[in-house]
Amino acid sequence: MRVSRLYVDLPLALNEQVELDDDSGHYVRTVLRLKKDDAVILFNGNGGEYVCVLGEVSRKTVLVAVKSWNDRSVESPLSVTLGLGISRGDRMDLSVQKAVELGVNQITPLITERCVVQFKGEKKLQRSLHWQKIAQHAAEQSGRTVLPELTEITTLQNWVSNQQGLKVFLDPYAEKSLAELQPDDMKVTLLTGPEGGFSDQERNTAKTAGFIPVRLGSRILRTETAAIAALAAVQMLWGDFGVTGQGTEDR
C-alpha cells in the first residue's frame, strides 16, 4: 500500500513527536482520512525523509511520531535556476508545478515588459505564497526530498545580472540550439518569457548580462510549454533523464 508523503516546515528528528500545522492536519484528517497508527512519510526539504506513525488524530490536533530516517534523494546532478516570466493564472501555476517535477533548484518569478499580471497591495505576497504551495505539493508528488527555492518576485533587469553557470534565454528567433552549448560546473540558468515573449530591449539586456539566445525547434511555443520543454531538454542533455528511476503516482 502506498504511503502518503507530506512536506512540513518543521524540524524533524528521530524518536521525536511533532504536531502538524492546521493545513497539513486538515489534509491528513479530512482528505487522506488517515487514522491513529497509520504510516505517513514527512520531509522538510532539507534532504532525506522520515517514516512516521500517526499518534493523535482529532479536529484540534494531529500528532506524528518520527520512527526512522531514509537518506534518499532523486536530485539531478545538474543545478538548474529558472527565471520565469510571470504569465496569467493557470499557465504560471502549471509552469511552477512542472518545473519542480523536472528537477529545478530555484525559481524566480519575473516581471517583464509584457507581463499582464498586476500586483497591487498584498497581491504580490499572496501570489508568492500560492506558488510556494504549488512547489511544495509538486515536491510531495514527485518524490523530491529537497524543496526548490522560490525567490521573491523581481524584475528581469534586476535578476539577469546576478546569475551563474551556462546562461540561456529562450528566443524563437535565435540561431543556436541547446545541444551546441555546454554548462559550466553543471550549472544552467534558464530565462523564459511571459505571453508575448521578450521585448527587444529585454533581449539586449539579457545578452549584455551574458545570456545566450537559444531556440527549441522551429515552432513557437506557448510560455508554459517553452519552460517545460527547456527543462526537459537540459535534463536530457546534461541531467538525470538517462538514469532509470521509479516514478510516483499523483497526490
| Residue 244 covered by a domain | no
Q: Which of 70, 99, 127 is the last residue of a domain?
A: 70
Q: Is residue 123 over pLDDT 70?
A: yes
pLDDT of residue 202: 94
Q: Is residue 251 over pLDDT 80?
A: no
pLDDT of residue 118: 78
pLDDT in tens, 14-71: 999 999 999 899 999 999 999 999 999 999 998 899 999 999 999 889 999 999 999 9
pLDDT of residue 66: 95
pLDDT of residue 172: 86
> What CATH number is given to the structural domain containing 147?
3.40.1280.10
Place of cell 534565454: 169
- Whether 50 and 153 share a structural domain: no
Three cell numbers at 167?
Answer: 546562461
**Rg of the chain, C-alpha, whole Å:** 20
For residue 140, give the nearest of 44, 228, 65 by alpha carbon.
Answer: 44
Which residues sit opposite 214 in a β-bridge? 170, 176
Count of the separate structural domains present in the chain = 2
pTM tops 0.75: yes
> What CATH number is given to the structural domain containing 52?
2.40.240.20
In angstroms, the CA 167 to CA 204 distance is 14
pLDDT in tens, 64-99: 999 999 998 999 999 999 999 999 878 999 999 999
- Whether 144 and 225 share a structural domain: yes
Residue 38 domain boundaries: 5-70
Q: Is residue 161 over pLDDT 70?
A: yes
Residue 43 C-beta-side C-alpha neighbours within 13 Å? 25
Q: How many CB atoms lie within 10 A of CB 240?
A: 15
What pLDDT band is residue 243 in, cutting at 50, 70 and 90?
A: low
pLDDT in tens, 127-141: 999 999 999 999 999
145-169 average pLDDT score = 94
